[in-house]
């Protein structure tokens, strides 16, 4: 507990510094384009505290490991995936956010650096230890989560909605090729029905010029077959810091 007798750390004599373990928790989102559902990856905890309860996949940071490395490691333990979008979300570090703080008498604090990730549903292969270990949950149907992970999840959901408006993250969750309707459905399921009319959404995005028509047509049930498009990141580059490209 007591922390003293050194030169370097200011304020250390009267006010002891906290010692931390640092965890990384991932809010991993995906979209099932077939069923039009926004999904979040949850695991069932194998350890105390909160044994058996659902949580975001997380891990504690190891010696010599960067935060991002830890985020990639825990993700790779739960899911096999080709492409992956990952960015830091927020850091939660108040005292008392982890029951292990009370359990040990050392007064170690547990801080969580959360990451926001997007994967393609069809590409992502879940890695089970036991069945039901890892699973996708639709965003409207999330069970009670361990720790403060509900808050992290909400934070990630908000980030997703914000970024859809000005950044091309939609193409990180959509399949490599997709119809314009797939794209539109993604936006409506995440952002709500009333953000734009389908026809206008189409022409706006096509005019921007970063969607290439592959020429391939797909027929899904009744109606005229739709063209499959591909996102051209080179053509998007000049729009990178333009605000509100997608809305």
Partner DNA sequence: GACATTTTGGTAAAAATTACTATAATTAAG
Partner DNA sequence: CTTAATTATAGTAATTTTTACCAAAATGTC
The first and second tokens of residue 22, run together, are 């640092």
Interaction pattern, residues 109-148, with a second copy; x per rule: CB under 8 A: x-x-x-----------------------------------
Stretch that binds a second copy, among 35-43, 87-95, 169-177, 210-218 (CB under 8 A): 87-95
Q: Which of 113, 18, 17 is nearest to 71 (CA)?
A: 113
Stretch that binds DNA, among 41-49, 123-131, 138-146, 190-198 (CB under 7 A): 190-198
Pick what 165 binds: a second copy, DNA, none; C-beta below 5 to 8 Å, kind-dependent.
Answer: a second copy
The whole-angstrom separation of Cα 245 and Cα 234 is 15
CB 155 within 8 Å of CB 27: yes
Stretch that binds DNA, among 3-11, 70-78, 94-102, 198-206 (CB under 7 A): 198-206
* Phi, psi dihedral angles at 149 (to 5 degrees): -70, -20
Residues 206-225 that bind DNA (CB under 7 A): 206, 217, 219-225
Sheet containing 177-178: order of strands = 177-178, 226-231, 211-218
Pick what 188 binds: a second copy, DNA, none; C-beta below 5 to 8 Å, kind-dependent.
Answer: none
Give the angle subtended at the CA of 174 by the CAs of 171 and 177, to the nearest 5°. 90
Q: Which of 32, 37, 67, 167 binds a second copy (CB under 8 A)?
A: 67
CA distances from 160 to 29, 36, 102, 197 (A): 9, 16, 34, 21
Strands 226-231 and 211-218: antiparallel
Interface contacts to a second copy, rule CB under 8 A = 1, 7-12, 15-22, 46-49, 59-68, 88, 90-91, 93-95, 100, 103, 107, 109, 111, 113, 165-166, 243-244, 247
Interface contacts to DNA, rule CB under 7 A = 179-181, 196-200, 202-204, 206, 217, 219-227
């Amino acid at each position: 507990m007591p922390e003293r007798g050194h030169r370097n750390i200011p304020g250390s004599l009267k006010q002891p510094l906290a010692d931390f373990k640092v965890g990384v928790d991932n809010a991993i989102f995906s979209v099932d384009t077939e069923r039009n559902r926004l999904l979040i990856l949850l695991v069932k905890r194998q350890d105390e505290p909160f044994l058996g309860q659902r949580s975001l996949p997380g891990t504690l940071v190891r010696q010599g490991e960067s935060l991002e490395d830890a985020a990639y490691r825990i993700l790779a333990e739960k899911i096999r995936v080709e492409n992956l979008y990952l960015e830091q979300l927020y850091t939660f570090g108040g005292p008392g956010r982890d029951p292990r703080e009370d359990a040990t008498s050392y007064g170690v604090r547990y801080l969580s650096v959360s990451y926001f990730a997007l994967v393609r549903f069809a590409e992502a292969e879940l890695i089970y230890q036991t069945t039901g270990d890892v699973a996708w949950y639709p965003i409207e149907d999330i069970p009670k989560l361990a720790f403060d992970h509900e808050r992290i999840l909400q934070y990630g959901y908000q980030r997703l909605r914000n970024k859809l408006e000005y950044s091309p993250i939609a193409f990180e969750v959509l399949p490599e090729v997709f119809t314009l309707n797939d794209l539109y459905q993604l936006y409506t399921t995440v952002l709500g029905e009333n953000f734009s009319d389908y026809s206008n959404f189409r022409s706006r995005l096509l005019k921007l010029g970063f969607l290439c028509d592959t020429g391939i047509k797909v027929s899904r049930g009744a109606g005229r077959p739709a063209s499959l498009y591909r996102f051209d990141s080179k053509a998007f580059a000049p729009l990178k810091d333009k605000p509100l490209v997608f809305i």
